[in-house]
Structures are given as structure tokens and as C-alpha cells.
Amino acid sequence: MRSLATTDPDFPGDFAALLAAPRATQEDVRGAVAAIIAEVRERGDAALAALTARFDRFDPATVPLRVGAAEIDAASRAIAPERARALALAAARIEDFHRRQMPPDLATEEPTGLRLGLRWTPLDAVGLYVPGGKAAYPSSVLMNAIPARVAGVRRLAMCVPAPGGVLNPLVLAAARLAGVDEIYRVGGAQAIAALAFGTAMIAPVDRIVGPGNAYVAEAKRQVYGQVGIDAIAGPSEVVVLADAANDPRLVAIDLLAQAEHDEAAQAILITDDATFAARVAAAIAAELPTLPRAAIAGASLAAHGAVIVVRGWEEAVALVNQLAPEHLELMVAEPEALFSRIRHAGAAFLGRFAPEALGDYIAGPNHVLPTARSARFASGLAVFDFLKRTTWIAAPDARALGELGPAAITLAEAEGLGAHARSIALRLGQNTPPA
């Protein structure tokens, strides 16, 4: 991991380089993705079958792309009881937290009788993309599907890559818990194209959510406008603010927990104690070889990890607001006070006993969060992503129009929009056009 210190005269340039360093793949996949989308639009299910055979190495003629109810039932029964209980607990907590987010409709009435309001309605259909490459993520199924169900979405269609035609039973069990029974063994850009434009087998949806590789991200970018999307997800990241009162091993393992996601993941420690920083580095060196995904975590830390020593927490807060991390851990004596000064973070974890992994699985808030500094302007997945707002205006008689109309006429005429002005004026008995 690179080491930086705010006392170093080169720190501004070094920190700027850290911010600007690319982490997502530099491969230009735009042309390949456009070709896949075009093929799916033209050939539909035949293209899905051919692309699946090519990329996931199984024959859809023998292993159907649509997952049947019997297979979902069998997978749900096959998982170990303790895993079933853990999934059920996670699902219940995620549902409870997201139900508390549901916004109320708005309605007001003015003395003139004019009534104004806002109504929330769910989307009709949502596509869920679940990664299936380097690891299987049943937690992602819960985090993407449950808020949609809570919002009232009637149809959820899930696509998940299945190398060799095999799906992880935990993924299917999580889908069953979340109320998803429309599942396809289709991954990559072809899955995004099918969800966006539809085929004979897969009806189109209104919004696509869920992370994926560079091809999935680019496909979501290219179909945006035809459908809505949640975000263009980048590699995962964490910033840990920790003082010297912490156990360095706990800080080290939290950094490694993020690094083991992907070689492009990023883990950054910010501390006000150089000696403690060295102890954390030593703990990382001791812990890393013991991890099942040591090679991935090591590559991530070597390429993108950093330790930043600051002179105080004011400097730390300023750096966090520039980093705008996906995950922020505040392992300090008074985390709430520090958190009150943080403006940009996808999700915050306050205190020494609130590791980011708790939020990944079981706490309740969503783990689908803005990456690549997009927490400056974006938020994590929520019920709001599956709802639309419709405003409404009701006028039972001419009283409100008589009071507000003249100002509206003035503004319409100032903009040169005569029909706009006349639509109000005629109702007020003014400016009647000649017969």
C-alpha cells in the first residue's frame, strides 16, 4: 500500500494522483457491447442461446435458460439450515428497513380551493442483474429485489450468468425469499439487452438494477433511455478513519475485507498516528496470507491501497469529502461528531463494532452504493429507485385561476407563447378570439 502524509510537501500532488488513478478496466468494450446489443435486438432468443453457449459454455438446448420452479424449490431445500436461517434473517431486516423508507403522498389545499399534490407509484417491471463471475452473491439478490417488492413492483425478472449452466443454490434460495420466480441463466451484455428491449422469452422491463463487469456496465450505459438504470457501478471501495486506540488487526481485516472483492477494489486507511499506521501495515502482512482470496486482496492493496497519516481529524474530514467513498468506517472515540461533518459517503459505519461487512449482509440498509466518487451526487439503492413521482393540480372552480391566472398570462406572453396565455385568458373571459 502506498503511504502518504499531509506533512509531506508533495502530498497535494500525491493525493490528487490517488484520486485520479483509474481502477476500472481500461479495455474499450463499447464496440463489442454495441454489437451484442444489436445481435440480441435482431435475433432475440436465438442470439441469447448462441451468446450463452459462447460465453458461459453450456448448451441452452439441454439446460434451459429459464429456471423452473422445481429447480428453485430444490435449491432452497438443499442449502444448509444455518444458511437458510441467516438468509431469512437478512431478508427480514432488509425488508423492515426499506419499508420504513416508503414516502407518503402529498396533498395540500389553498384558500382559493386550488389543490396541489404528489403521488408515488411503483414501476411495473424491473430487471435484476446478479453477478456470477468471481463469486456468487445471494446478498445482492436480497438487496436489489426486496426494495423493489416493498415499493410495489409487480414483476421482477432476474438474470444471472451460469458458467457451465450451474447456478449457486444460495442465489436461487435468496431469490425465492425475495419473491423472485422469473429467473434466467443469462449474463453479460446480452442479459442487459434482453431486459431492455425484450425477446420472445424475456419481456422488456422499465428499469435495470444490479452490478456487473465492464461489459454489463457498458451495456447499461448504452440502453439508458430505453430503460432506466440504477447506476454505472465501479469497483468497490472503503475508507477507514481509525485512531490509535483501535486493535490494529481489526483495522487490517476491515481493509482486507474490501480488498478481497476484486483486484480493482480500493481500501484506504486514514489515521492521525504514524506508529499506529505501521502496526496496521504489519497486521495486514500477517493476515493476508491466511485468506482464501489472498491473491486478489494483495493485488488490490498493491495497486490501489493507501495509508494516509493526517495531523488531525479536520484534515481527515476534508480528505473524506474529496474521496466521497462508497463505504466509510469511523473507528474513533466520537464517531457521530465526526460523521456530522461528512458530506459525501455512500454508507457510514460508526464505531469500533460496526464493520462494513455488517452492512453487506445483515444490518438492513442497502449495500448497493455509489462508487468512484459518485457519492458526491448519488445515493445508495432504496425504495425510491423503484417509485415514480406524479404531481397533480386540481381546481374545482375559477377562483384560483382568477387569482393566479393574470401572472401566468404575463409570463407566457413574455416567453412568446401565445397559446399558453390564451388557454388561461379564455377561461377568464379575456382575449376571446374572433369567430
d(CA 378, CA 44): 34
d(CA 21, CA 304): 8
**Which is catalytic among the residues 261, 304, 327, 344?**
327
Q: Clarify whether 329 is annotated catalytic.
A: no
Could you tell me which of 262, 217, 235, 241 has the C-alpha nearest to residue 371? 235
Write out the three cell numbers for 14.
500525491
Q: Count other Cβ atoms within 10 Å, centred on residue 277.
A: 23
Q: Clarify whether 326 is annotated catalytic.
A: yes
Write out the three cell numbers for 183.
429467473
Task: Report whether 216 contacts 129 (CB < 8 A).
Answer: yes
Decide the pairing of beta strands 115-122 and 387-394.
antiparallel
Burial class (CB in 10 A: 0-12, 13-18, 19+), 7: exposed
**Which is catalytic among the residues 95, 260, 326, 356?**
326
Residue 343 is which amino acid?
R
d(CA 179, CA 133): 23
Catalytic site positions: 326-327
